[in-house]
Amino acid sequence: MRGVPFLLFSWFLFGPSLLLAERSTYIVHLDKTFIPKIFATHQNWHSSIIDTIKIEAPTTQNGYHPVPKLLYSYDNVLHGFSVVLSKDEFEALKKSPGFLSAYKDRPVEAHTTHSSKFLDLNPASGLWLASGFGQDVIIGVLDSGVWPESASFRDDGLSEIPKKWKGICKPGTKFNSSLCNRKLIGANYFNKGLLASDSTVKISMNSARDTDGHGTHVASIAAGSFSKGASYFGYAPGTARGMAPRARRAVYKFSFEEGIVTSDLIAAMDQAVADGVDILTISYGWTNIPLYEDSIAIASFGAMMKGVLVSASAGNSGPEMGTLNNGVPWIFTVAACDSDRSFSGTLTLGNGLKITGFSLFPVKTIIKDLRVLYNESISPCDSFDPSSPIPNARRSIIICYSTAIDVEDQMAAISESSFGGAIYISDYPDVLRANFFPNPGVVISTKEGKQVIDYASKSVRPTASISFQETHIDVMPAPVVSSFSSRGPSRSYLRVAKPDIVAPGVLILAAWPSNVSAAVIGVNTFLDSDYRLLSGTSMATPHIAGMRQCLKEHILIGVLRLFDLP
């Protein structure tokens, strides 16, 4: 009987919390034809349904009586709502007239100066000029928000905002309505679902302001204004511009540092269509979700039926087959490819041999005539014993070679050591797509590495120099599908070949928030920049969104014919 008092004590102490923990957010789909004529709006109908399913539940210790909580009403990309319910309330909801289906809210997975030239977009002729550089097209960017002060969001030379626009510039934390202009015509944010998923969550930036960088980067790729003098610490210098530099942009933030949930994403899509966007770009999705629970697929169909094209990322889970996200016919699914641009440093050995290797070390410096050190016992460069320092390490360039150790892990270890530089030997393709380069060095191939090791092993005093901040154009072969880009087929829809198209998605230069670190040197020296290089299908997708004017009619006509729709 000693356990009984403890159980009773546990119930009084934790019972109310356990009761609340049993409540979940559901996304509910309804048949709109069932709406009674007595309701003036769909919101009234949704509220009425919620009122009829209230189940009696014990009042908690602090006097709180849990009841169903309506989060969002949807009516543009799908018809239904998201709501917080207990299991009993959910069972009662399924008996409501017009109920079609429901499923629990779930987390969502997150998936330039040269791209226009690589895509043969000529400012003097062709598709780019014919489309008016996207003149007055409204692109809805669903992501982590925006850094409105970026030069890529200036509205120089743009006409008045199109009259069809119905959206708002919603104020919030460190964001006021005056930050919108004729380029950034709308900014909104959605986090009711996130807050409902965890009562302890405190939103640090409760506004459309971007604290992650992803949304700003994506938005400027799609429709960034012309911005001279852009670069990433000297790499990729030139004039930055989006694919549709004269298009308008509306930002819908549903991705927060504290979390990302489906109900907020649908709310953002629903509002964007209501506001009058022409195209939506989404760089998020799920793998292995059945079609009837794939909210992006369902909502995108509703958007398509209202004339809004949806461009979405294929995902970054390649190169395995069947890893595709967003693989339904009515979404323009975008894979990532390399462009013909590369970034490098030049390694010059003491014997005169020059090797061009990959580098994004973000400091303009020259490593000159340092000793080259090769020691098989430490060449994996995975860790260094601080109690056994290597003599003259600061005046040495160490050769790091291991097929079992990730190059980024080697770089992290070098950052904690005292070496003056490093030569990383690797044939792994994804090494050439990462922007993490915290210490002076270059990445070279195994074939080139053998020459360097041979020189270091046989010379009496092997030395080397490294220069940085080099950008090369017309590198071939290109385009080549990136290894990380997810492959089809879509497991939820095997009948359609996907993805539809590739676009540049490797080390794309685009706008970046000035309060978010763009690079790091060593262990804890963080650098900021107005532009950053990033890789992913997230970067490829807005390229296609920006070219909407050329693509939209052909895509929609094809989809309508596929489904035999008028």
The alpha-helical segments, DSSP class H, found in 29-73 are: 42-52
What are the tokens at 9?
């004590």
Of 46, 131, 538, 543, the active-site residue reads: 538
Of 79, 111, 214, 543, the active-site residue reads: 214
According to DSSP, the β-strands at 342-349 and 463-472 are antiparallel
CA quadruple 321, 322, 323, 327: dihedral sign: positive
Task: Report the run of H or E that residue 39 belongs to, with start and end.
Answer: none
Q: Which of 408, 413, 404 is nearest to 382 (CA)?
A: 413
Give the phi and the psi of residue 28 in degrees, each rounded to 5: -115, 130
Q: Does 479 sit behind a cis peptide bond, omega within 30 degrees of 0 on the bond before it?
A: yes
Give the phi and the psi of residue 14 in degrees, each rounded to 5: -115, -10
Q: Which of 456, 424, 413, 420 is nearest to 440 (CA)?
A: 420
DSSP 85-113: E-HHHHHHHTTSTTEEEEEE--B-EE---
Of 143, 294, 338, 500, the active-site residue reads: 143
CA–CA distance, 97 with 202 (Å, rounded to integer): 37
Please measure the distance between the N-terminal and C-terminal CA atoms of the chain and give it in whole angstroms. Answer: 73
- Crossing angle for the helix pair 537-546 and 214-223, nearest 10 degrees? 30
The answer to whether the CB of 232 falls within 8 A of the CB of 213 is: no
What are the tokens at 533?
């290089």
CA–CA distance, 108 with 320 (Å, rounded to integer): 21
The answer to whether the CB of 537 falls within 8 A of the CB of 335 is: yes
The one-letter amino acid at 268:
A
Is 538 in the active site?
A: yes
- Cβ–Cβ contacts within 10 Å for residue 512, how many? 26
In the block, tokens 């992803």 appear at 214
The one-letter amino acid at 428:
Y
For the chain, the C-alpha Rg in angstroms (whole number) is: 27
For the annotated catalytic residues, the residue numbers are 143, 214, 538
